[in-house]
Structure 1
Amino acid sequence: MYSTPKSNRLHIGIFGRRNSGKSSIINAITGQSLAIVSDIPGTTTDPVYKSMEILPIGPCVLIDTAGIDDDSILGNERIKKTMKVFRKTDVAILVVDVHIGMGKFEEELIIRFKSAKIPFVIIVNKCDLKRSSELISKLSEKGYTYLEVSTHTGQGIEDLKKNIIKIAPDDWASIPLVGDIVNPNDLIVMVCPIDSAMPRGRLILPQVQVLRDILDSDASAVVVKDTELTDVLSKLASPPDLVITDSQVFETVKEILPSEIPLTSFSTIYARHKGDLNVFLEGVKVLNELNDGDEILIAEACTHHVQAEDIGRSKIPTWLLNMTGKNLEFDITAGGDFPEDVSKYQMIITCGGCMINRREMMFRIETAVKSGVAITNYGILIAYINGILERVVEPFSQNK
């Protein structure tokens, strides 16, 4: 709770063959013995995530993956999990054992990096034991960015850190939450309902992050439950500059709030912060075209204990069935279990994505777009159902 959330950290994936030194690279970068190092092939089986604060990189997540040449009984499953890491990787490190050199496994990874538009650097590891002029010449001829590294002596490690910063995509840290639509001295009212799905004793991550962004913008915030909104508004000396509400209580808030007061929601903020607001706005229009038997995927980005009032598994399906009057079918995915083939769905509805990085959310959006499947998120959908979508997105059309 006191550190940068994993979803807001630069995700660095380390890829390569078994025993190429991937885990040793992680230990060298961090200066700690975080990853298990062994001469036994296949020591790393599933992707391992290490949240770290590394200078000069800053808050990041290092992802140690299984060897792509794993030919064991479970090798194919391990490689599939390694490939899924691409969905969330902002920067890739390809570790090449100087004794083995470049081969089909490395070339295939490079093709995948380029296809997924992941910036990458090649590490020629174990250079304290051997120097391969042939390998270096081959890398140079192909124009690859590479570094000669020794995890034993530390050679090249600082250059690696600097290179990671250099090639990191400009948008990895995401678009602002509200920092570009809130002015200094603004008064923002945050409506945070408390129901059985709310974690005990704390606010949820989107509410905390938006509150912090408001304060960082030199504005002020009043946090209130929907049941106390009317009373709080009557006590304010002047109307708030913006009201941000949980999407689930749009129906209540829109009846209380005068139309001249700007209104949006946490999930709508995240539609822009983590995803593509324009794609979500276009995707929600498909609601008017749904037919009996259409399949809808509700994609949650985290795993949580399901409550009776669960937004994705209970409320949204009920609202859609009532609104459309159609016999719709719903599939639910949670955490990282987003299908590669989504062509059978008429529509995908994703949560705000506070627990995943922007890279992974954009993967989901691009997967849907390539398949011709409409995609939107909770906040946009609920605003549309309540007939206030135009009002809810209006704050983002204004320049700060």
Structure 2
Amino acid sequence: MKSERQFTRMDAGLRRWLRAACCVLRDFVRTRSSCFTQHATRNTGLHLTAWLVVFCVLPLASPAATRIKDIAMIAGARDNQLVGFGIVTGIAGEGDKDPVYTRQAVANMLQRFGVTVPAATLSSKNVAVVMLTADIPAYAKPGSRIDVNISSMGDAKTLQGGVLLQTPLTGADGKVYAVAQGALSVGGFIGGAGGAGGATVQKNHPTVAQIIGGALVEREIPSTIVRDNQIDLLLRQADFTSAARVAAAINEKFTNSARALDMGTVRVAMPRGTETVPVDFIARLETIEVTPDMPARIVINERTGTIVANSRIKISHCAVSHGNLTINVASSQDVSQPAPFSQTGNTAVTTRTDTSVTESKNGLVTLPELPTVEKVASALNALGVTPRDMMAIFQAMKQAGALQAELIIR
């Protein structure tokens, strides 16, 4: 690549300057005890010039880059979703209690084995009906295995110890592409012997399980990645600048073969001689390195109190003041007694509620221009605000025009 050759030449020049600087420094040390002659003065000037050039060159190191494989995918080489409806048995009394569809599903399953039982007469607490989901990757061949996720559909308390019976997994077209079966792996549990108050202990979600490699692929999904000797790259994070950089990086290695169609698609024409070996060409294509570009962005999740900002956010010079309201509600019990010698009054217990509101007295704080995410974080931490406060501050900064970043609130 052209950029790599440029940095290689720059590194070679840097090494030459370093060698020259070392030689000059050595000569300078040898002559330090004598008076500076005109020749020594020239050496000193050369010495200073060499080191100035070195320090000017050092910051020009190659920026971090990533492989095209990590930021884009090949159009056509995509996963497909599968879904199924099945039965889990062996749940030891914690299965579905009395859903009609559970009895009907068990009756249908028994009928497949030649056992005819009216659905209304069935009653089993060791069975639960479940939904299955799975993703089948492109070019998955019959006989290969894929992972399966299982979730309870009825009122079963847990799927611990359960075994999934053979269940077909279908695609959006209604065709069966895989068959799942096996023992469930549950990432949580529920336990308790019904102690005081029937207390139980639960960890995570015991009604959701997984079977690693629990489904066998029965049918391959056709995939097409090359059309008219062209391959489309789909960027995982669509961006016009990133698409242009990807096309330019590919053209550095394969001349005039790539062009950006839009902010999320780069079309690559296969060079002559590679039409019969598209896998080899794609492998070489994916190893090309490029530096993607992302817009300044802050993502706020108000439900969890999470704030994530990328490295490009900037804050202009502004003043910030954020006050908190603290509401205290105190209740106390009083006894109300009638007047002495009263014939009609009764002693009663009354509740008195006192409510007070306290507002923090925060002054107006001036923030300088903050060009990096590190300085933004340091300045906000110095204010002593909580993540919830930061959410409100970021929103106010955006409305005031002081925040140069896209604000996403989820």
TM range (shorter): under 0.3
RCO higher in structure (CA 8 A, sep ≥6): 1
Q: Calculate the TM-score normalised by the size of structure 2.
A: 0.21
Q: Which has the higher strand share?
A: 2
Q: Which has the higher helix share?
A: 1
Q: Calculate the TM-score normalised by the size of structure 1.
A: 0.21
